[in-house]
Amino acid sequence: MEKIRNYVQLTEKFGTGGQPSAEQFPIIAENGYRHVINLGMPDHADSLSNEGELVSALGMNYIHIPVPFDMPTREHVRLFCKILYQVEKDKVFIHCIMNYRVSAFMYHYLSKIDNRDEASSRSSIFEIWKMEPAWAELMSWSITDIGL
């Protein structure tokens, strides 16, 4: 798992990372993940056009919420949180291209839905990510702003 770009085991149930290669999805399945959530855009050069097929063939569920990197919305975060709440009892691997989108979305889920404190809601990815203004704004959204 550590070979997946920017991999972080955020909690016991939630693993996050950048775009896995086709060869890494069997490793994700072998590690007990039952669901894969992809926040990356399908037209990115690093995305896999057959990712849903790869994941499904390994017996995992695949959920794709394409989030434009320059324009994340409250609706994206709300949908993500609602979906993650439905599957949170299982191990879930969540990725985008670099693990930036995922880290921001997971911050909202862990702090607002799972009621974790600030420190345990923040991924180590925040230490390396130079956040653009759209993402700094997203990080400031309240539970009311998101509509949860």
Mean pLDDT of the chain: 97
| CA torsion angle 96 42 78 59 (round to 10) | -70
18-34 pLDDT per residue, tens: 999 999 999 999 999 99
Alpha carbon 65 to its chain centroid, in Å, reads 10
Question: Would you state the pLDDT for residue 137?
Answer: 96
Domain CATH code at residue 57: 3.90.190.10
Q: At what angle do helices 100-108 and 133-140 cross, to 10 degrees?
A: 20
Our count of domains for the chain comes to 1
pLDDT at 37: 98
> What pLDDT score does 70 carry?
95
Q: What is the pLDDT of residue 77?
A: 98
**Residues 6 or more apart whose Cβ sits within 8 Å of residue 55:** 25, 36, 61, 62
3 is a domain residue = no
Domain annotation covers residue 2: no
Phi, psi of 32 (to 5 degrees): 90, 10
Task: Tell whether 90 is covered by a domain.
Answer: yes
The answer to whether residue 24 sits within a structural domain is yes
The boundaries of the domain holding residue 31 are 8-146
Q: Is residue 1 part of a domain?
A: no
Count of beta carbons in the 10 Å neighbourhood of residue 82: 13
The string of pLDDT tens digits covering residues 62-117 is 999 999 999 999 999 999 999 999 999 999 999 999 999 999 999 999 999 999 99
pLDDT tens profile 4-23: 999 999 999 999 999 999 99
What does the pLDDT read at residue 29?
A: 98
CA-to-CA distance for 35 and 111, rounded, in angstroms? 21
